[in-house]
Amino acid sequence: MRLFHYHLVTSKVREVEARYIGKLGFTLVARHGRIEEDTTSFESGHGWEELDELGFKLRLSELERGAVNVVVQPGQWELPRLDHLGFALDEDDFVATLARAALRELRVQEHGGRSSRRMRVTASSCTRPASGSTTFSRASRS
C-alpha cells in the first residue's frame, strides 16, 4: 500500500502551504482558482502578492514531494482537517483495505490503474493509528 494523495481543508491555506514548502520539502505545483468569473491556474513562480493584486480567489493549492500529491483547500477550520486520502494498492491489499473500510463505514471510490488499483477514502478526520491497526479512522459523531 502506498499513499499517493491527501486533501486538507483549512482557513490557514497560506500558512499551511508555506510550511509544506519551507519545512517539509514540498514544491508548489499550482494554485487553482478564479479571477472574477474566469477559472484560472498559476504555477509556481507567482507569489501571493501578485495574485492578490489580480483579484485571484483561491479554490485550492496543489503541492507535491516525490510521488505524494497534497491539496490544500480553503475552509472554516484553522487546524487543517483531512478531507480524503488516496492509496495505490496491489490486488490483495485492495481487497483487504476494502474490507477494513467497510467495517468502519468509510466511503471508498475505486480507480483502476495500469499496474495498481487506486482507492480514495473519505473521512471527516484521521487519528494516529495504534500499532498493527488500520490506517483509517472515522470521526466521532458527537
Compute the distance between CA of residue 28 and CA of residue 26 in angstroms, rounded to an integer.
7
Dist CA 141 CA 22 (whole Å): 35
Give CA–CA dist 8/70, Å, rounded: 8
Structure pTM?
Answer: 0.71
Domain ranges of the chain: 2-76, 83-122
Q: How far apart are CA 58 and CA 79, in angstroms?
A: 18
Contacts of range 33-38, beta carbons closer than 8 Å, 24 or more positions apart: 33/57, 33/58, 33/59, 33/60, 34/59
Per residue in 77-123, pLDDT (tens digit) is 999 999 888 877 788 888 888 888 888 887 776 665 544 455 555 55
Q: What confidence category does residue 11 fall into, taking pLDDT thresholds of 50, 70 and 90?
A: very high
CATH of 2-76, one of 1.20.1250, 3.30.160, 3.30.720, 3.30.70: 3.30.720
**Tens digit of each residue's pLDDT (9 = 90 or more) over 13-38:** 999 999 999 999 999 999 999 999 99
Parallel, antiparallel, or unpaired: how do β-strands 81-89 and 56-65 relate?
Answer: unpaired
